[in-house]
Chains A and B, each alone.
Chain A
């Protein structure tokens, strides 16, 4: 299956947010708030990145009793590489803009 492009604005925002704390497991609602993405956009992205091996997920026990386990996400090594690559590209683009 050909790899689908990961350079949409929403995907870049999500990768950049995950890159902020690359080793921390993050939750869906928190990611939605930080990236300003609606759940209807966020979850298809998470599913796609996961399918591409760029994202790993796990179930975490709730910190407070009475709440269900929660799905958590973080970048895999290849996800991390892609996110860094995109970050460098963004910095380069900004510099180019500044010099222009």
Chain B
């Protein structure tokens, strides 16, 4: 049996976090960007639970539950904004929504 320790979890969560981050920076579809942010959040959850397991403390797990609940609220607000945008602009590509001058 492979001995899975804290390092393995942290490494996996770091990789997931970086994949999510690159996705946010590179992808142009709003839904995909949103999913990438969720991936980052879940990477954080993974490392929180791994730390809590390693430290033998319940705090990290409790925090993970709160993060999941907040992420659900964020999903609702995000989808509402994306729907409002797609009705106005008829696209969900970030590059095509450029009415505000920078």
Report if A and B associate in a common complex. no
B residues neighboring A (CB under 8 Å): none
A residues neighboring B (CB under 8 Å): none
